[in-house]
Structure 1
Amino acid sequence: MTPRDLPGGAVLRAARPGDEPGILACIRALAIYEREPDAVVNTTEAIGETLFGGEPRAFCHVVERDGAIVGIAIWFLTYSTWTGRHGIWLEDLYVDEAQRGRGYGKQLIASLASVCVERGYSRLEWTVLDWNAPSIAFYRSIGATPMDEWTTQRLTGEALEALAG
């Protein structure tokens, strides 16, 4: 992606090696916001391998301001059997509380929409916690619609291991 200048002297760009500590700090701050402060077990090493290793499976766009990462959009590819095309799953979107209101979140999502359009992907999707009214209002303001008829399912821990058998 081509870096973009944003208000306040910030830059929106693809993540690069060396960004791992700032990305992890945003992930931890998001976990605190989402009331799961002890849930993050990720490391800078794992982030580096995931984003910049031999075959990256996830990607990240960052907002950098004054040398610090103040926003992230971490994403990966999906595939729709119905459309026969890829899409993007936005795993995490976070902008530092002190930096909100500058349009950085909207620009991060817009950068993913641009990837979809440029590559012919059919959709951009994500989940949001039911109680997160500010984020839900933001998503509605950019034209996102809820998928109320779908419920996310998850296997983890012992249930995942038991099924793997």
Structure 2
Amino acid sequence: MTIHLRPAARDDVPTILRFVRELAEFERAADKVVATEALLDDALFGDQPAAYAVIAEVDGAPAGMALYFFNFSTWTGWRGLYLEDLYVTPEARGKGVGAALLTHLAGIAVDRGCTRFEWAVLDWNENAIRFYRSKGAVPMDEWRTYRVSGDALPRLAGRA
């Protein structure tokens, strides 16, 4: 078995969207995915990319992906790398694909001068939590994530 990682290309967009949908189904939120191929194409390959993706292949077939973007910490004065989605197909799990993707992204973070590499995980996903801890990740239990979306966003913006 050979794992090969490569930057996503425009023709990977259908595969990326399939992986996003499969991940959302696993996370019990399939009905929340509204992304389309056109939206992902623009986000990843448009004039001002909002995110980047890495495709993992096992023996030449897509087996997973990592989708990430850069953020910024005023405390450190440096950028950080935020992992939005890490997905490995069920048949490729336990074969080192997830570890290879995390290692690859950590390398990107180091190469780009990032001082942080962060992501979120659902509190019930014990397998992922154990995996991340085994890689040296620590939970940020004192922080809470807040989100404004749907009708609340334009209301907050004073545009509703």
Shorter-chain TM-score bucket reads: over 0.9
Q: Does 1:102 align with 2:92?
A: no
User: Which stretch of the first structure deviates more once superposed, 78-87 or 9-18?
Assistant: 9-18
Shift of 1:68: 3.5
Distance in 1, Cα, partners of 2:115 & 2:59:
35
Write the letter of the residue equivalent to 2:105: L
Q: Tell me the matched-pair count.
A: 158
Write the letter of the residue equivalent to 2:96: G
Alignment match, 1:45: 38
Alignment match, 1:65: 58
Contact 1:72/1:108 (CA < 8 Å) preserved in 2?
yes
Q: TM-score, normalised by structure 2?
A: 0.95
Q: TM-score, normalised by structure 1?
A: 0.92
Alignment match, 1:131: 124
Shift of 1:145: 0.2
Secondary structure class of the residue paired with 2:85: strand
Distance in 2, Cα, partners of 1:24 & 1:68:
16
Write the letter of the residue equivalent to 2:71: T
Superposed, 1:85-100 pairs within 5 Å as 85-100=78-93
Distance in 1, Cα, partners of 2:2 & 2:122:
31
Distance in 2, Cα, partners of 1:69 & 1:164:
40
Secondary structure class of the residue paired with 1:108: helix
Distance in 2, Cα, partners of 1:132 & 1:147:
16
Residue 6 of structure 2, aligned match among 6, 13, 28:
13
Contact 1:86/1:121 (CA < 8 Å) preserved in 2?
yes
Secondary structure class of the residue paired with 2:10: coil
Write the letter of the residue equivalent to 1:127: A
Distance in 1, Cα, partners of 2:154 & 2:143:
25
Q: Does 1:27 align with 2:46?
A: no
Superposed, 1:114-129 pairs within 5 Å as 114-129=107-122
Taking every aligned residue pair, what percent have the same amino acid on both sides?
49
Alignment match, 1:36: 29
Distance in 2, Cα, partners of 1:9 & 1:22:
19
Distance in 1, Cα, partners of 2:62 & 2:31:
21
Shift of 1:66: 4.9
Structure 2 unmatched runs, 5+: none
Shift of 1:16: 0.7
Structure 1 unmatched runs, 5+: 1-7
Contact 1:88/1:125 (CA < 8 Å) preserved in 2?
yes
Alignment RMSD, CA only?
1.0
